Amino acid sequence: MNPKPASDATESQRIVERARDVIPGGAQTGLRAQAYDTGDVAFERAKGATLTTVDDEQYTDYHLGFGPIILGHAHDSVDDAARRAIDGGVLYGAGTAPLEVEVAERLVETLPSVEQVNFCNSGSEATYHAIRLARAATGSEKILKFEGCYHGWHDYVDVSVYPPEEGLGEQYPESAGMLRSAVENTLVVPFNDSAAVEAVFREHGDDLAGVILEPVPHSVGCLLPDHDFLQHLRELTDDADVPLIFDEVITGFRHSPHGAQGEFGITPDLTCVAKALGNGYPVAAVGGREDLLSQAGGDNKSGVVISGTYSGNLPGLAAARETIDTIVEEDVQNHVTDLGDEYRAGLRDLLTDHGIEGRVVGHRSIFSLQFGVTGEPKNYEDVLGLDEGTFREFAAGMRERGHFFTPNPYKRHHLSFAHGEEQLEAYLDDADAVLATL
């Protein structure tokens, strides 16, 4: 048992101490526990762009639950849609509900690659299903992924997301307890490196089941893809008849209703979406070519098993339908993109003004401040060497001034439709003050 908190401890500190007794690290997932790097915190409500703790402290939220909150916390029309769904029962678990059809139709209409859809509850589930579909279609087992891309916690691809420098170019498992054969069947090359991809196809082409990538790797801040790289990847996979899988868990519906695939004009064979799809509700999907998805059509003796008791839960689907409609009808992406441009420009000016070595990276509604490194990063190796300690100092200073984001230096800030010029001005003013102390 952990020691009892001091009598003058805040309510947040008391709750976190209780949590550490019964929850590993005191939070659900180690990444959430990282928030404690800048002090114990327990939140009890959120609205718009604001998080409020049990001690009634308020923060402007740039974390946004690792990105799902695209419209703002507790968005009225999304929550109302979920409540109406609850009134009819949250889960049927048999047959087909109209909401399933309506949301699937919206995904088919908005995402260029999607002809059919299977719903699930998280991005990890979606990528897991996509890889199983690809393996079933090809009869092969090896998956090609890219350093710095995160595709979920499962053994299939939790490899070389944040490898140390000595682990570059190797299959680096991100967790203890992973199945060795799964790691061995996950091939890894640098992002934006067409020559490395070609080499894998020459050596392992007959054994490749699929290629998976974040089209914009935001798991390490932001790596923007070279269009020629994406185009070459599409051509190689076409020639080899190997499914190309876009993990749009972060980019889908956050950057565009049509995903990064619509933005860059590259159509994959399978697409995974989650996060911003439901503005915080647990809903995700794998979609793609009909011939690939139809493998999961119900014949479990010869087809692909895609299962999940809570897949297609009604509140999640209702939230997804309302979120998609709001994004399209209210031109959400233009708002958050313009705002993101202002944050990035303002932070670059501040780095220059204070003579601090660093860079601001990002795309549309996502930005990241990286200290100790310069130049536009093109692959994961370009991210290595950033000054982690200075970023944590910056995060702590900003949190003291009422701005919340994860102190993990490899992660990112997110913006929502609820953020505006008021939040921008306050953030840049306080960043100016904090940078002056570094």
Pairing of strands 244-247, 208-213: parallel
Instruction: Enumerate residues 6+ apart whose C-beta is below 8 A from 318.
Output: 81, 82, 84, 85, 99
| Catalytic residue chosen out of the listed positions 61, 247, 269, 387 | 247
Claim to verify: residue 166 and residue 110 sit in the same structural domain: yes
Q: Is 430 a catalytic residue?
A: no
Q: Is 343 a catalytic residue?
A: no
Claim to verify: residue 175 and residue 300 sit in the same structural domain: yes
- Cβ count near 196 (within 10 Å): 18
Last residue of a domain, one of 329, 347, 370: 329
CA distance linking residue 33 with residue 28, whole number of Å: 7
Residue found under tokens 């780095």: 351
CATH code, domain carrying 20: 3.90.1150.10
Q: Do 83 and 300 form a contact (C-beta atoms < 8 A)?
A: no
User: Could you read off the pLDDT tens digit of each residue along the chain, which spans 438 residues?
Assistant: 555 556 678 999 999 999 899 988 888 877 777 777 777 888 999 999 999 999 999 999 999 999 999 999 999 999 999 999 999 999 998 889 999 999 999 999 999 999 999 999 999 999 999 999 999 999 999 999 999 999 999 999 999 999 999 999 999 999 999 999 999 999 999 999 999 999 999 999 999 999 999 999 999 999 999 999 999 999 999 999 999 999 999 999 999 999 999 999 999 999 999 999 999 999 999 999 999 999 998 765 668 999 999 999 999 999 999 999 999 999 899 999 999 999 999 999 999 999 999 999 999 999 999 999 999 999 999 999 999 999 999 999 999 999 999 999 999 999 999 999 999 999 999 999 999 999
Claim to verify: residue 134 and residue 198 sit in the same structural domain: yes
Domain that holds residue 308: 76-329
Claim to verify: residue 163 and residue 151 sit in the same structural domain: yes
Claim to verify: residue 32 and residue 82 sit in the same structural domain: no
Last residue of a domain, one of 269, 301, 329: 329
| Catalytic residue chosen out of the listed positions 275, 281, 382, 387 | 275
Last residue of a domain, one of 329, 354, 376: 329
Q: Please write the tens of the pLDDT for every residue from 152-170.
A: 999 999 999 999 999 999 9
Claim to verify: residue 306 and residue 357 sit in the same structural domain: no
- Judge whether 1 lies within some domain: no
Claim to verify: residue 135 and residue 181 sit in the same structural domain: yes
Claim to verify: residue 315 and residue 372 sit in the same structural domain: no
- Judge whether 354 lies within some domain: yes
Element holding 213 (H helix, E strand): strand 208-213
- Judge whether 4 lies within some domain: no
Claim to verify: residue 180 and residue 239 sit in the same structural domain: yes
Into how many domains does the chain fold?
2
The helix/strand/coil state of 119 is: strand
Q: Is 172 a catalytic residue?
A: no
CA distance linking residue 127 with residue 112, whole number of Å: 18
Claim to verify: residue 132 and residue 67 sit in the same structural domain: no
Claim to verify: residue 125 and residue 221 sit in the same structural domain: yes
CA distances from 125 to 247, 343, 394 (A): 11, 33, 34
- Judge whether 189 lies within some domain: yes
CA distance linking residue 69 with residue 88, whole number of Å: 25
Torsion of CA 256, 261, 265, 270, to 10 degrees: -150
Model's pTM, two decimal places? 0.95
Q: Please write the tens of the pLDDT for every residue from 95-143.
A: 899 999 999 999 999 999 999 999 999 999 999 999 999 999 999 999 9
| Catalytic residue chosen out of the listed positions 62, 128, 150, 410 | 150
Claim to verify: residue 109 and residue 166 sit in the same structural domain: yes
- Give Cα 205 to chain centroid, integer Å: 29
